[in-house]
Structure 1
Amino acid sequence: MISNEQALKAFEDYLSIEKQYSSLTVKSYLTDVKGFLAFVQNEGFSDLLLEVTRERVFGHYLNHLNASNFQNKSIARKLSAIKSFYKYHQRVGNIDVNVTITLKSPKVEKRLPKVVSEKELDLIFQSIDIQKPLGQRNYLIFDLLYSTGIRASELCNLSISDVELSRQRVLIHGKGSKDRYVILHDKLTESFRQYMTYTRPLLLAKGDTLFNQKLFINYKGGVLTTRGLRVILNQLFKDAGEFVKVSPHMLRHSFASALLNHGADLRVVQELLGHENLKTTQVYTHLTTEKIRTLYKESHPRAKK
């Protein structure tokens, strides 16, 4: 029987190389499996992950998570990682039977994605001081997230060579090494031109090297991280007087909702978001349905009564 370290390393390589998951996703999977390992060792069920062959051990673990006040969504995520781990090791022949197949995840309430209203978005744009280099960068970042729906990691991974201003598009390196193009509107194209010609060199000069090829630079002249991006967005909302913590994903949701509300085809939205499955994109149709319902009640004379 292979050791826990070998089993985890093989699973990590599978997620990174074969599945081509992001480093954050791989880390999340491993954390969940290691959490299960700690449980089975502490409870004396087994010292080795691949020697856990009784379904009731997993049942005890789920009870433990419930007793620890984990939400159903978190429990379902942890169970999904564990099932993936054992499914992989059965496939490569390290275990004969995968008892996790019959385990059922707890029901997770489906929540509509949170979006930022157009009024709030306008306040943000108006409050950004574009007379300063950081303001110009932040305006471009905010507009890019809302106008293209790209992910935080995709924005931070952009290189100068990915931007094609002559064609008004940007090459996005998405999940699973799947590339796609997003379209730049005229104002966004001009903001890019201003940033790349004047603003970026000023920010880059504050750092240790002028040869950094990443597109977005932080205030110290280094590479902008996803954590730094969240700090920027929260500060933008605070400066605008909207005390709501906003995430890059909320702007991604707002992008999709705005397109559908203004008549875009669902498959076009799917392509722009980089969703592999149309079902993933269909969640946004619920947002438009709710808007239609609200407008109907506000507009039809019989519905007002």
Structure 2
Amino acid sequence: MKTYEVGNVRYDGKVCFLIRRTEDASICVYPTKYLKHKTTSNRSPNTVKRIAFSLSYFMGYLKEQGRQFEDVYEMTYSAQMEFFQNFLYWVKGGKHISGEVRKIPDNGTCNAYLHDVFGFYQFLEMEYEQFGSLLVLSDKTISYTNAIGVRKTKLCRSFDGYLNAVSSKGRTIERKNIIVLLDACTNCRDQLLLLLLAETGFRIGELLGVRYVEDIDYQRCRIRVEPRVDNENEVRAKYEEDRWAKVSKDTFDILLFYYAKYRKLLRESEYLFITLSGEHAGQALTEDAVNAMLRRLQKKTQIKVTSHMLRHYFANERRKNGWSLELISQALGHRNLQTTINYLNISNEELVEASEELLYGIFQLRHRRD
């Protein structure tokens, strides 16, 4: 049985996460205060939930080691390094998961758990004077490209003991498989959802937050991502930036047909995507409901599909149509061009050819100057 469990309560219109001891249901004060801090800082519920589970895993590791949070500050540099690296191997071995069936996390996931733990420790250091600083975190300056392509630098605290993580190419989906999935849908709402994910490149949380009066340009067949923190279904745009996406005429016709078919239900909500039946009919559709629908489609068609795969499909289709990397990145709402590159199915041969073309262009420019 798990030593700690993650729970949530609704307070002042927001979902607040907490961590409890399973033996007596008592609340763990420091971690729960940190989670409240993240919520009041307008971090998305999914992000805070992820952090909550990361901390609960680390707390289970601490209990196995007979340690408390503050004990780490008493360790030497080498002892801290060993302690945190052992946590990585602990979760890598699946010891954070209860039950017989264990899905072993990859190195990147393990590192993400520890990154969340370090965020908690830095909160403790700023909130409570009695805590010092972790010796294993060093100050480093990193460079990044923002959403409009401007190169910037910032100071951050870094850990040198993470596991080696391979950056993997995200999985996309073929057009023919999308057609099969569309045919397998039981209603036009699900068809519209799949089509808009594939045509806009929006994240599922962004699309489920679309409001059909405010965020749709009916004259020019466009849909907008508008960052909000008060969505009924608790979805959230990743960044505080709005952007528009063009929708094909055929898909917009399906959208209008969807309006006509479910007009009465839609009048009860301001959201484009709603629940169509049951006790929650007319309420904003949730991410859990969409994921359940996609799993049903996969079981019915034997075709693997996720909202993120459709986002990758959007990126690769735009690349085939000649969009620049920067334009695709802006359409996806990425802040780093490398993230966009990881979405694209670019072969090593293409990268070599691009490098050769760049070098040839530089040579020609220098030759003309000479």
TM-score, normalised to structure 1's length? 0.79
Q: Which structure exhibits the higher relative contact order, with contacts defined as CA atoms closer than 8 Å and separated by 6 or more residues?
A: 1
**In structure 2, what residue type is equivalent to 1:116?**
I
Q: 1:64 aligns with which of 90, 97, 100?
A: 90
Q: Structure 1 residue 189 and structure 2 residue 252: aligned?
A: yes
* Alpha-carbon shift at residue 113 of structure 1 (Å): 0.8
Q: 2:46 aligns with which of 24, 44, 48?
A: 24
Contact 2:92–2:105 at 8 Å: present in 1 too? yes
Between the aligned partners of 1:269 and 1:213, the Cα distance in structure 2 is 29
**In structure 2, what residue type is equivalent to 1:122?**
I
> What residue number does 1:110 align with?
167
> What residue number does 2:262 align with?
200
Q: Which has the higher strand share?
A: 2
> What residue number does 2:289 align with?
228
Q: 2:215 aligns with which of 162, 170, 180?
A: 162
Indicate the SS of the match to 2:63. helix
1:256-301 Cα distance to aligned partner (Å, 9 max, x none): 111112211111111111112222112134x1336969xxxxxxxx
Between the aligned partners of 1:86 and 1:176, the Cα distance in structure 2 is 25
Residues 279 and 195 (structure 1 numbering): CA distance in 2 closer, same or farther, change over 3 Å?
same
Q: CA RMSD in A?
A: 2.7
* Alpha-carbon shift at residue 73 of structure 1 (Å): 2.5
Q: 1:150 aligns with which of 193, 196, 202?
A: 202
Which 10-residue stretch deviates more, 134-143 or 60-69?
A: 60-69
**In structure 1, what residue type is equivalent to 2:206?**
E
1:174-232 Cα distance to aligned partner (Å, 9 max, x none): 21333222222222222222222x12325x28xxxx52222112231233211221232
Q: Structure 1 residue 33 and structure 2 residue 33: aligned?
A: no
Contact 1:170–1:183 at 8 Å: present in 2 too? yes
Contact 1:115–1:251 at 8 Å: present in 2 too? yes
Residues 199 and 236 (structure 1 numbering): CA distance in 2 closer, same or farther, change over 3 Å?
farther
> What residue number does 2:72 align with?
52
Between the aligned partners of 1:290 and 1:185, the Cα distance in structure 2 is 33
> What residue number does 2:18 align with?
none
Between the aligned partners of 2:34 and 2:312, the Cα distance in structure 1 is 32
Count of residue pairs brought into register by the alignment: 274
Q: Which has the higher helix share?
A: 1
5+ unaligned residues in a row in structure 1: which ranges? 294-305
**In structure 2, what residue type is equivalent to 1:169?**
R
Contact 1:257–1:288 at 8 Å: present in 2 too? no
Aligned-pair identity in percent equals 21
1:140-161 Cα distance to aligned partner (Å, 9 max, x none): 1111000011111222222222
Q: 1:280 aligns with which of 339, 342, 350?
A: 339
**In structure 2, what residue type is equivalent to 1:12?**
L
**In structure 1, what residue type is equivalent to 2:347?**
T
Which 10-residue stretch deviates more, 78-87 or 177-186?
A: 177-186
Between the aligned partners of 2:160 and 2:276, the Cα distance in structure 1 is 48
Contact 1:136–1:195 at 8 Å: present in 2 too? yes
> What residue number does 2:232 align with?
none
Between the aligned partners of 1:14 and 1:192, the Cα distance in structure 2 is 39
Indicate the SS of the match to 1:167. coil
> What residue number does 1:300 align with?
none
